[in-house]
Structure 1
Amino acid sequence: MRPHLPWLCQGDIFSDAPIVDIAAQGTGGLEASLIYGPAILITHDCAMDKPDKDGNPRVQHFQLVRLRSMSALPQDRRGNLKGGRAKVPPFEAMYVGDVGDLGESFILLSDPYFLPAGYFAPGFVDYRGHAEADPQVTNYITPLLNDSRIGRLEEDQIQLLRRKIIAFWTRMDVI
């Protein structure tokens, strides 16, 4: 995990994001609850950085996945996931590593959820002069409310995440 940038990026790690939890209640019944916990933003950067005709962020929803503790997995699955940390298979799961108080963590791409963008009240902010800002970009989408980011994935993890997303949804590995 590395420090997050001031603007939103794919791979940002939130410590206290809203998570919609849906559980089966018998045959055909569902119960939904809203909990708060760690999650990772998986919406691609280029889906977030487009303005509408008035210059406001066009993005309507952000896609996240819950960040889960490795301790919730059986020992053999922990070893397999951690041992394959740089590999695309298994497509569904990704080892994230040590994430603050949560400790060793992973995500399941089979469990994405969406938050309305308005939850973060996103706006465009000028970060020209920031060491990691692209000189060709003048404004970056930034959460103006409810920003509980504590870091973001390393660059190699973001590249692996992108490959895993493609592989999980298409069952085709991209080299």
Structure 2
Amino acid sequence: MRYPEGGGLTAERRAFREGIRLQAGERFAAGEKTAVIAKDLRVSVRSVERWRRAWREGGMEALRSAGPANSPPITDAQFTALEEELNRGPSAQGFDDERWTLARVQAVIRCRLQVSLSVPTVWRLLKRHGWSWQAPARRALERDEHAVELWKKEVWPGVKVSRRPTRRGSSSRTRPDSR
């Protein structure tokens, strides 16, 4: 499994598993017993029973892979439309300030694309397409950056108190001073 990339199987592993299911389907048609198929294919009996039920209901096509489990919930065309909406800004969507939150993006997706996604899914969708979270810096309008830098260089070193007390004697904290 590829958990750091969002879970699921690689395409090769998915194809390998599909091949095993299709082999089992051929053996179902030949009338072989479930336990024998499970032993030969080195899978559990319960899996073979589940595959046999699917095979009975839908034939060999039911044993084919359905694709990646974490497929994108919206298409690329839909995401392009969503990006256009996001680039217009939150106020164009009816929000009172210029901050995008995941809940707001979720509301835009639900309204414009008629797709219901959870907040974590919205985050994964945006991250997958290169969007990142941004927290606005809260700064006073009157802030003077030059004065702040000057204060940091000249005043702060004199005000700053060292966290480590200066003691003579042992460097070890376990032994008392020998005075």
Higher relative contact order (CA 8 A, sep 6+): 1
Larger radius of gyration: 2
* Shared fold (TM-score, shorter chain, > 0.5): no
**TM-score interval, smaller chain:** under 0.3
Query: What is the TM-score of this pair, normalised by structure 1?
Result: 0.21
Structure with higher helix content: 2
Structure with higher strand content: 1
